[in-house]
A and B are shown apart, each in its own frame.
Chain A
Amino acid sequence: MALLEIRGLVKRFLGVTAVGGVDLTVAAGELVSLIGPNGSGKTTLFNCVTGYLGADDGRVLFRGADITRAAPHRIARLGLGRTFQHVSVFGRLSALENLLVFVQQHQEENLLARLVRTPRVRRLEAEAVARARTLLDLVGLGAKAEAPAGSLSYGQRKLLAFAAALMPDPELILLDEPAAAVNPTMINQMKDHILALHRQGKTVVLVEHNMDVVMDISQRVVVLDHGQKIAEGPPAAIRRDPGVIEAYFGR
């Protein structure tokens, strides 16, 4: 069964069609990249899938359930995580605290249990801190755990946001240009980690302009142009596709 199914999705802004009836199916465990020129509708599609924008037409199904009109936090709780192209962090909180914000609060919502700090609550908190430290090490920010996130460079904030999206351990993760502003050596580590998530059975949809990343790790590449799907296939075929070369790669 498809984990994510997008059917005929349409989104218009003031008469401009940003996404013009896109169909996209992602099977559980797949690693799919979405590419296309600036303004082709990639981020708008992500925003519609994750509830940040209301679609004008079409449907989005996650594990068979209709999430077209669901609120972003509900969608996140269903196991659909994402990162944002333009990151924002809580500047006064430490890098570590920024990750703890992303802990799935519904694991223990009983206010009394939190106030009393039952052993279970304390164990969950300790686990969350350990997981956050592991993720910080993974993105090379281990030494910055206690530093205010506002003191991090733009690239480091991108890495922090990548780690934050992994905190709740989502089933499906949508990554919006995770490699932009990130140093090439760290991009390789990020690539390895996306592949590791994939091996664990997680499903990944990646928007990225860095073709070394897209071509190396994707099983399938979907190409958007002017809000329409113009090609879909394995990386090697997409690289040779004349329509994609014309619309995206150039020359």
Chain B
Amino acid sequence: MVDSAPLLELHEVVAGYEEVEVLRGVSVRVGAGEIVSIIGANGAGKSTLLRTVFGMVSPRAGSIRFDGTEIGGRAPVDVLKRGIGYVPQGRCNFPAMSVEENLEMGAYLRRDGKIRADIDALLARFPVLATKRRDAAGTLSGGQQQILEMAISLLLRPRLLLVDEPSLGLDPRMVELVFGTIATINREGTAILMVEQNAKKALSVSHRAFVLELGRNRFEGTGQELLDDPDVRQHYLGG
């Protein structure tokens, strides 16, 4: 799956908050059309990695190249315009606005005439949202909100979607639905870079994965290789 030039390439990225250095030289590649997972202990720097790619944290060293262009330190709105979407940890849509209005907000940066058609297409693709299109987003269940957040991010037609802990707080059926949705989005051509503590689940749907430890690369391999690795199993998958 890996092209000679990956879609996203982080090389020796250093980043953090004030005096705390969270990423201490991390290198990660995502090829076009791949699902790549980041796993690791709590505080290893996984969420910070996604925030740094999206421009919410500026790298102090190293490079972040997207489609051949350096994007390290660019503002989130620039990163978004270049084709990277971001679904953060936890739910953060506009709870008092309807599902449909939330989707319209997702198209805020667009100026073309196809927004309406795209929203209708998304609602058709995610029936769980279509039945609730006029309901306030805050009344949706956690899993439905997660799917809404992903649908919103798709309105800018990203080539890469960053997803932070999509299964957080979801019941088993919703976890299946959310991971199924991620696989669907990927099959339609969007690459996925995902952070997930439900590591066995994440690895089972990933083409490749990276294990971070204390802000550094620790392991790298296909999803299956990491699932089979005794060290990874013991230290990161709970045995």
**Contact pick for A38, options B174, B199, B200, B234, CB 8 Å:** B174
Give bound CA distance, A140 to B235, whole Å: 13
A212 cross-chain contacts in B, Cβ below 8 A = 238
- Supposing A38-B142, A184-B199, A184-B238 touch, asked if A248 and B172 sit within 8 A by C-beta, the answer is yes
Q: How large is the interface on B (under 10, 10 to 19, 20 to 34, 35 or more residues)?
A: 35 or more
B169 cross-chain contacts in A, Cβ below 8 A = 38, 85, 177, 180, 209
**Contact pick for A188, options B18, B42, B175, B239, CB 8 Å:** B239
Contact with A along B19-62 (1 / 0, CB 8 A): 01000000000000000000111110011100000000000000
Q: Are A156 and B170 in contact (CB under 8 A)?
A: no
Give bound CA distance, A248 to B235, whole Å: 30
- Supposing A248-B172, A250-B176 touch, asked if A151 and B236 sit within 8 A by C-beta, the answer is no
- Supposing A183-B42, A184-B237, A185-B41 touch, asked if A39 and B172 sit within 8 A by C-beta, the answer is no
- Majority secondary structure, B binding face: mixed
| B163 CB to nearest A CB, Å | 14
A249 cross-chain contacts in B, Cβ below 8 A = 172-173
Give residues of chain A (175-234) contacting chain B, Cβ–Cβ below 8 Å: 177, 180-188, 209, 211-212
Does B168 belong to the interface (CB within 8 Å)? yes
Give bound CA distance, A85 to B171, whole Å: 13
Give bound CA distance, A186 to B41, whole Å: 8
**Contact pick for B236, options A85, A159, A181, A183, CB 8 Å:** A183
| Nearest A-chain residue to B144, judged by Cβ | A38
Q: Are A182 and B42 in contact (CB under 8 A)?
A: yes
Does A153 belong to the interface (CB within 8 Å)? yes
Instruction: Show the binding face of A for B, using Cβ within 8 Å.
Output: 36-39, 85-86, 140, 144, 147, 151-156, 158-159, 177, 180-188, 209, 211-212, 248-250
